[in-house]
Amino acid sequence: MSQFVYFIPGTDAEAKTDALIDAAGLTSRFEQVHGQRMTVYFKFWPMGPDGKSGLAISAAPCSETFDAETMIVLECAKYHVLYHTSARPGAADLERLVELAGYEIVLADGGKWKIPLLRRWDEVKEAFVAALPSRIMPRIRDGVGRIERCTDVRYAELEKLAMIFEEAIVLGVVWPLQDMFFAAVSLLKVNYRVDEAEIGVLGLLNDDLCLTMIGLSVDLPTLQTYAQRVANEGEIVTGIMEEQANG
């Protein structure tokens, strides 16, 4: 199993704790299931990418030492992200055990990655509808108690993203580069143990892929198919009416 290695400079050999992982902002990288920590491997390196000693952390056994000739490195604020050139992590190595269903897309590494479906196009309602996991619970509306279906609280942030993406598709918003990149990152980190650093060092994204991913997350292919069918049916009806008028 190919995995990333996270090197935290300035840490000693005795700092092998969950608190170190959390303080570095790496909690989600070691959770295949939300809230459940994977087995984590630590290795003290006398010298890391920056020349300092520290701890290497990974979801697989770490090498004994840092090797600049065989490792790709990206420096971040609190740590360095590394992987061995002979063991480049891919989608299968990084996927979470609990995933949100959606579309598959081939990213710039040539691998297939799963994009979660945040919205679904409903042909009957002719509107986008919720696609995230939901829960049924009692609510008070205008003083009246009701039973409603609400988005699972674990996906509250994704629901906010869904609203932004839906509006962007409807209005034809032009995405600034930074917003587009972070939108795509937000989608990938749902089903994979990655964030912007890992996605960047793997070189997974470009402009077209980011836009495609945003569209997939709100079921744009279904909407496009529906719109084309309606347009075709409209042309048929127009043709029939014209024939009757000329007949």
Residues (pLDDT < 70) of the chain are 235-247
pLDDT reported for residue 161: 92
Q: How many structural domains comprise the chain?
A: 2
Whether 81 and 120 map to the same domain: the answer is no
pLDDT reported for residue 245: 56
Read off the pTM: 0.87
Whether 200 and 151 map to the same domain: the answer is yes
CB 195 within 8 A of CB 185: yes
pLDDT reported for residue 99: 84
Whether 16 and 127 map to the same domain: the answer is no
**Residue 182: domain span:** 99-223
Whether 104 and 84 map to the same domain: the answer is no
**Domain end among 36, 54, 89:** 89
Whether 38 and 79 map to the same domain: the answer is yes
Whether 160 and 189 map to the same domain: the answer is yes
Residue 235 is inside which H or E element, if any?
A: helix 220-246
pLDDT reported for residue 241: 46
pLDDT reported for residue 74: 94
pLDDT reported for residue 21: 93
Whether 126 and 205 map to the same domain: the answer is yes
Whether 83 and 128 map to the same domain: the answer is no
**Domain end among 89, 109, 127:** 89
CA distance 74 to 201: 6
Could you give the angle at which helices 207-217 and 220-246 cross, rounded to 10 degrees?
A: 80
Whether 84 and 103 map to the same domain: the answer is no
In a domain, 115, yes or no: yes
